[in-house]
């Protein structure tokens, strides 16, 4: 494979940010998810609001939103984006002793928002871990993945 096939490398193999100057502005969105598994009593404490640090899921939502806005500071070569919407939902799943985090990012721009959605879901899950680690160090962040992507010139993507 030649370096010409990699969009983040120039013809000499050096890293570069992809030039999107000539790409049209289009509506774009992406949704990602992460699951954090935990002990049943940890989930119960989160759901019942008994954590001494406050509302775990509210803090996780805010952390996810902040993370999406900081994505280009965290991941090299990501473009700084003017996000028009970031939504982070944290849904307790008692049957699986876990919390499912879903993050959706939107904008009208020249590049996609997949990394922002993935970063938001990941950081929200990490925030849940951070807030609950004193009671459950065995929590496990699982299945961080892109669920769907829309907009731009590439075809829409929908996970199975």
Domains of the chain plus CATH, in order, are: 33-151 (3.30.70.640)
Task: Read off the pLDDT of each residue in 110-123 and give the average, rounded to a whole number.
Answer: 96
Task: Read off the pLDDT of each residue in 127-151 and give the average, rounded to a whole number.
Answer: 96
pLDDT digit string (tens) for 49-104? Answer: 888 888 999 999 999 999 999 999 999 889 999 999 999 999 999 999 999 999 99
CA atoms of 100 and 39, how far apart (whole Å): 14
Query: Mean pLDDT for the chain?
Result: 91
Specify the pLDDT at position 18.
80
Of 14-18, 94-98, 101-105, 118-122, where does mean pLDDT reach its minimum? Answer: 14-18
Residue 5 has a CB neighbour count (10 Å cut-off) of 7
Active site residues: 130
């Amino acid at each position: 494979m030649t370096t010409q096939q990699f969009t983040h490398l120039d013809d000499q193999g050096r890293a570069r940010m992809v030039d999107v100057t000539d790409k049209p502005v289009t509506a774009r969105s992406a949704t990602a998810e992460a699951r954090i598994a935990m002990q049943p009593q940890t989930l119960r404490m989160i759901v019942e609001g008994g954590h001494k640090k406050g509302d775990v899921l509210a803090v996780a939502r805010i952390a996810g939103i902040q993370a999406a806005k900081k994505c280009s500071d965290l991941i090299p070569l990501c473009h700084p984006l003017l996000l028009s919407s970031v939504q982070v939902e944290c849904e307790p799943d008692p049957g699986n002793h876990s919390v499912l985090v879903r993050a959706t990012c939107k904008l009208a721009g020249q590049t996609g928002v997949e990394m922002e959605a993935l970063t938001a879901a990941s950081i929200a899950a990490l925030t849940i871990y951070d807030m609950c680690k004193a009671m459950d160090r065995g929590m496990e962040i699982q299945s961080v993945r892109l669920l769907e992507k829309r907009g731009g010139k590439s075809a829409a993507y929908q996970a199975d």
